[in-house]
Amino acid sequence: MQFSTKAEYGLKAIVNLAKAFPRQKSAKEIAQEEDISQKYLERLLGNLRNGEIVESTKGKLGGYVLKRNPKRITVGEIIEILDGEISPMRCVGKFCAAEHKCPSSIVWNKLGQQIKKTLYGIKLSDLIK
């Protein structure tokens, strides 16, 4: 299982905002500090805004700020907003029509549960210490 660059760069950007919390930062500022394309970053931040992780304001003095305290945002939330449901295999859970007939589904389901447990157990505040 591999996470996408959306998850990688999105998490870097959110950690950047968590370090600045409650201060607002521009996409340009974050992009420069994290070495991410500003255009790509703005798309990721748009997804995170729709997922209610960040708030944005427009204009010359606009930018992004976390919508909640970093202690209340988990890495799992961020990754699922950017990458979709966390799953080690495509055939896990609601995507598997033959789950009840497939003995290996037990392995993939347990692995998926542990990955989610780990990612949802890590708060943004844990990453900025």
Q: Are 96 and 21 contacting, i.e. CB atoms less than 8 angstroms apart?
A: no
Q: How many domains does the chain have?
A: 1
pLDDT at 84: 85
Q: What is the pLDDT of residues 19-62, one digit of tens each?
A: 999 999 999 999 999 999 999 999 999 999 999 999 999 888 88
Range of the domain at 107: 5-127
Residues with Cβ < 8 Å from 18, sequence gap 6 or more? 66, 70, 73, 124, 125, 127, 128
% of the chain beyond a pLDDT of 70: 89
Domain containing 44 — which CATH number?
1.10.10.10
